[in-house]
Structure 1
Amino acid sequence: MSDTSNPLIKRAMAVAAGGAVAIAAVLVPAFEGSRLSAYLDPVGIPTICYGHTAGVRVGQVKSQAQCDELLRGDLGIALTTVDRLVKVPMPETRRAALASFVYNAGAGNFASSTMLRKLNAGDPVGACNELPKWVYSKGQILPGLVQRREQERQLCLM
């Protein structure tokens, strides 16, 4: 086990964490898009910027800088969730794919998923292949989710 109090190990861990953040920071905006004015998403949830929903009211407006800050915070929360729930080592690409999933589908869905159970049981391929099952919203397949989950799956398998 690593000595996480060692300054060099801490720096190395920070650089490694930056890998998943950097990957997710490219992946998430590509799928979420960016809108500076709040709107209702396909399932009727008030949303702004890159899919941010917490405390959003229709009619709100944010600057690009505010949207970028919300993205950083939301990705940090998603990655923290992944790191807390996944009990096995994984590459940064998988962390980024799972963070994108958590960002979109939510921590609760990830926590109760077969994907997480398979991952923690040592079946990363089976876990990654669960992603394409998460393409429904209100019982309907959303084409954007089909594309997103396939990209997440490919990244997860790297």
Structure 2
Amino acid sequence: MIQHKKTWLAIALTAVAGFEGLRTEAYKDPVGIPTICFGYTAGVEIGDTATVDECKQLLTDEVISHGLAVSNAVTVDLSHEEQAAYTSFTYNVGAAAFQRSTLLRKLNSDDRVGACNELPRWVYASGVKLPGLVKRREAERELCLSGIQ
């Protein structure tokens, strides 16, 4: 039986949803930013609510947007796993941080293992090392490395 690889989008959606968790009422994230759904922050105010369907659509739109930001910044071909790992990372830290990163410089110079190994360095939020980010980055690193032949 032939098994087909999931596309990067399916992998990234699963990863981001798992890391972020679903909350249909706005809350403050660990650094005090109003957040809703699966870690969405743009224009969110405490008191906002969303339906599960709205959150799923927002997640899909945001993962696609962040995946495109990764694709537009990267000059080497990525496996589905690498694309998903970097999309999850970018969803969390933002496209601007990804574009300025040593990780991207390593990736674009074809140091794929070195780029994956940069992920665990990104575990601080407002100067505080967060256990959830440690776990997330290690999972992203493992996913990333699994896509390198």
Give TM-score scaled by structure 2 length. 0.93
Specify the alignment match of 1:133 in structure 2: 121
Letter in 2 for 1:103: Y
Residues paired across the two proteins, number: 143
Specify the alignment match of 1:146 in structure 2: 134
Q: Deviations over 1:101-153 (max 9, x none)?
A: 00000001100000000000010000000000000011110000000000000
**Structure 2 unaligned blocks of 5 or more:** none
* Residue 108 in structure 1 maps to residue 99 in structure 2: no
Specify the alignment match of 2:143 in structure 1: 155
Give secondary structure in 2 for the equivalent of 1:42.
coil
Specify the alignment match of 1:120 in structure 2: 108
CA distance in 1, matches of 2:122, 2:115: 12
* Residue 34 in structure 1 maps to residue 12 in structure 2: no
* Residue 67 in structure 1 maps to residue 59 in structure 2: no
Moved over 2 A (4+): none
Larger radius of gyration: 1
Kindly, what percent of the aligned residue pairs are identical?
51
CA distance in 1, matches of 2:89, 2:125: 14
CA distance in 2, matches of 1:101, 1:42: 17
CA distance in 1, matches of 2:40, 2:127: 22
Structure with higher RCO (Cα < 8 A, 6+ apart) = 2
Specify the alignment match of 1:22 in structure 2: 10
Letter in 1 for 2:84: A
Letter in 2 for 1:48: I
**Structure 1 unaligned blocks of 5 or more:** 1-15
* Residue 93 in structure 1 maps to residue 93 in structure 2: no
Q: Deviations over 1:62-88 (max 9, x none)?
A: 000000000001001110001000000
Letter in 1 for 2:82: R
